[in-house]
Chains A and B, each alone.
Chain A
Amino acid sequence: QQQVKQSPQSLIVQKGGISIINCAYENTAFDYFPWYQQFPGKGPALLIAIRPDVSEKKEGRFTISFNKSAKQFSLHIMDSQPGDSATYFCAALQTGANNLFFGTGTRLTVIP
């Protein structure tokens, strides 16, 4: 059973455009939602994270939007650049638990 559902599976965006990746979850006990970025041949690296006490968090061109009632959160990449081309994973964690549940990933390609 997939604890975190992620879409789309792949995404192609023009340079300068906005990339949007969506995730949904069922477990209302989740209280920490990070996004990880993975380049080919590398391990994932933390990009940005949010807790459900806020509806939005912004770091540079990257923004997480969080909708607690809908149990959904999304990553927005503004002014997308070719260097943003990577696979993005959303994840969710319940405080006190050991396991970070990951989505299935979105392969983003930003074309010049």
Chain B
Amino acid sequence: GAGVSQSPSNKVTEKGKDVELRCDPISGHTALYWYRQRLGQGLEFLIYFQGNSAPDKSGLPSDRFSAERTGESVSTLTIQRTQQEDSAVYLCASSLRRAGELFFGEGSRLTVL
């Protein structure tokens, strides 16, 4: 595709359920980022993937959060046992190289009831 694609665009779930968010980066982009954007807040770094290197997980807020990416393809962000404070827009971005211009998807809006 032409841009970063994220799905689902909206997800409503009950507290305690697991959710999986998907990101399809721009073809050829080796770097992939996940950010969280809470209402009225800035972008909070979660995790970074660069090619086949070990991911930088330093931003993950708890062990309920995990992410995977195979090579330079699709990434999934998984939140287990969701809590109400997990409600946010989860943004994925890809880049041609580390710390280059980030191209963001439109985000997945998660609402935990």
Contact = CB atoms under 8 A, between A and B. Distances in A.
A99 B104 contact: no
Interface residues of A, number: 24
Contacts of B43: 44, 89, 102
Contacts of B98: 98
Interface in B61-111: 91, 93, 98-99, 101-107
Interface in A45-74: 45-46, 49
Interface of A: 2, 6, 32, 34, 36, 41-46, 49, 89, 93, 95, 97-105
Given A45-B103, A98-B50, 9 more contacts: A36-B102, A43-B104, A43-B106, A44-B104, A98-B56, A99-B58, A101-B45, A102-B42, A102-B43
B59 interface: yes
A49 B99 CA distance: 12
A43 B107 CA distance: 6
Contacts of A43: 4, 91, 93, 104-107
A79 to B, nearest CB: 25
Contacts of A99: 45, 48, 56, 58-59
B41 A104 contact: yes
B39 to A, nearest CB: 11
Given A97-B99, A99-B56, A100-B99, A105 B104 contact: no
A89 B99 CA distance: 16
B45 A100 contact: yes
Nearest to B92: A43
B99 A42 contact: no
B99 A98 contact: yes
Contacts of B42: 2, 6, 89, 102-105
A110 to B, nearest CB: 20
Contacts of B105: 43
A103 B41 CA distance: 9
A101 B107 CA distance: 18
- Top 3 closest pairs, chain A to chain B, by CB: A43-B104, A104-B42, A102-B43
